[in-house]
A = this chain, B = another copy of it.
């Protein structure tokens, strides 16, 4: 049923570090084969642990997926909040937001691929409310910046809602094709998307 973090302070850190390793390894395997198609046997092989040892860290397969989603969204939100809430010109805030976002996508490709793959579960099941809220908060941060850009006249959209959805689509899709040593860096991609959205 459970995975309990140690109460002894000296062991706490080691446990968390190892747990992160397990999550990252699992994210990689899930991204390759799919969450549902990956068996716990696949994960024991990939982590080097056996079934019992694995469950010492993860609690259940679903909690493992939850951990991956949280590792994706929580740090992204933490970085995005101060940028979106800053007081510079909206178009500069948008550019900074996109660069941070795409760096995060590039660094957490596996996590995002799993997130996108299992979206139907995350959007439907009650136990995924917390993750849904994270996703919605991030989208609201983006929309606020676009809305303020429109208000100040710095941006103009035929349909702001559609522009936001298009942006979400292109950025999330980036995880499908981005390669770390590819032709374009995360920043170049971010600027490319930004120009696509704002030019004219």
A51 touches B (CB below 8 Å): no
Q: Given A169-B173, A173-B173, check contact A32 B120 (CB 8 Å).
A: yes
Interface residue from B33, B119, B170, B199 paired with A166 (Cβ < 8 Å): B170
A131 touches B (CB below 8 Å): no
Number of residues of chain A lying within 8 A (CB) of chain B: 42
A106-123 vs B: 1/0 string, CB under 8 Å?
000000010011111100
Q: Given A34-B118, A34-B120, check contact A165 B159 (CB 8 Å).
A: no
The CA of A166 and the CA of B165, in the complex, are separated in Å by 12
The CA of A162 and the CA of B117, in the complex, are separated in Å by 23
Choose, from A2-10, A13-21, A188-196, the stretch at the interface: A188-196
Interface residue from B120, B159, B184, B199 paired with A162 (Cβ < 8 Å): B184
Report A27 CB to chain B, min CB distance, Å.
13
A200 touches B (CB below 8 Å): yes
A140 touches B (CB below 8 Å): no
A170 and B165 within 8 A (CB): yes
Give A contacts to B, CB under 8 Å: 31-37, 113, 116-121, 124, 158-159, 161-163, 165-174, 176-177, 183-184, 189, 192-193, 195-197, 199-200
